[in-house]
Amino acid sequence: MARVGEAPVRIDLNDLDAFQQGTPHDWFAWLREHDPVYFQDQSNDVGYWCLTKHADIIAASKDFKRFSSAQGMHIKDMGPGTEHMLINQDPPRHTRLRSLVSHGFHPRMIAALEDKIREVVHEILDNVGPKGECDFVTEIAAELPLIVICELAGVPPEDRHKVFEWSNTMIGTGDDPEYSPGMEAATKAFLEVNEYAGILGELRRHEPREDLVSAIVNAEIDGDKLLDIEIAVFFVVLMIAGNETTRNLIAGGMRALIENPDQRERLQADPSLFQTAVDEMLRWVTPVHYFRRTATEDMEIRGKTIRSGDKVCLWYSSGNRDEEVYANSMSFDVGRTPNPHVAFGGGGAHFCMGFSLAQLEIKVMFEELFGRLQNLEFNGPIQRLRSNFINGTRHMPIKFTAEAKSL
């Protein structure tokens, strides 16, 4: 662990136990003020640079030539096959792949899902309402994105919970014992979901439907199509990004509303605030703590010299609390505007393609939930994910009074 100057606490961004207790915002606040381009040592590997200021995160996100994604988006170096992932590529290759798969995220496709999303939310709330209590994560927050992303991709209903288990196992990678018993299990899950994607892709190639897998396996730009391995690893990223992040955002957003009853009452009194509330939940929760880049040349940032080949982590959780950007940055404000959060990335080539889908799911979930579940309270201890990569909640027991009908 590294002691930073005269820091009042010992800062170690590798400490997964610290992140399991909650995002260490006191560490990030100190770093933003005193050491915004911080080098984090690692006991068993080469350390990495940490960008903690909003402006630096955005600048690096937009500069793919100096901050490459080709060596992976995780602090740990990724295994074979991951170089085919869209998220681990730079332009021009990234541009080609993104152009092919972006057809499946056309605004018309996303807008057409709103009625389906409301229908799914109604079914979820119908199931939990009569009980008066539930695990908000597993019974509400996890169900919506799982069903929606599988519906969008074309995964049959009977296979949805296979996808759920695979994505949990892959993001756990041994850091969280409930989700993954180790790297071996994560690798096995990666291979299994790749095989499944290959089978599903082959089916949709010959019998296309109105779904995302059909769109990407049959898409062409100047005669160019995705390779089988590219389709498979895109499916992996799609399932993780469309499932894990939205689930954890919904869970974290609900926690923020319960812990800030004044903001919950404000939102209930003024439904026009739902859209700004969604952006504030994204800023407040930040479901992905960081993405890594790799420096391609020597450079200086805020007086620190970063060498070619160094790992550089863009800490979105810190950028989203930057005092220079957000007034009262440590306060949850459902009416906050403007809100230039970096929860979907800081712009540039890797800005999240699924941002409009995620925003729609979150907005619909809370619009409907507010009409059905009243007097929400915690009903037991909250269990968080043990990870410094995903800001996740495993379990959050709640109790409530259920209304008979939705709005």
Domains and CATH numbers, the chain: 16-402 (1.10.630.10)
Mapping DSSP to helix (H, G, I), strand (E, B) and coil, where does residue 58 land? helix
Q: How confident is the model at residue 79 (pLDDT cuts 50, 70, 90)?
A: low
> Average pLDDT in the 391-406 region?
85
Cα 267 from Cα 254, distance rounded (Å)? 12
Lookup: tokens for 397: 């027991």
Cα 274 from Cα 294, distance rounded (Å)? 37
Model pLDDT, residue 5: 53
Classify residue 221 as exposed, middle or buried by CB count within 10 Å of its CB (0-12, 13-18, 19+).
exposed
Cα 318 from Cα 52, distance rounded (Å)? 5
Cis peptide upstream of residue 338 (ω within 30 degrees of 0): yes
Q: What are the tens digits of pLDDT across the range 183-228?
A: 778 778 888 888 898 899 889 988 988 888 888 888 776 677 778 8
> Average pLDDT in the 116-136 region?
94
Of all residues in the chain, what percent carry a pLDDT higher than 70? 92
> Which of 89-93, 101-105, 183-187, 231-235 is the least confident region?
101-105
Model pLDDT, residue 320: 98
Handedness of CA 312, 318, 320, 322 (dihedral sign): negative
Single pTM value for the model: 0.90
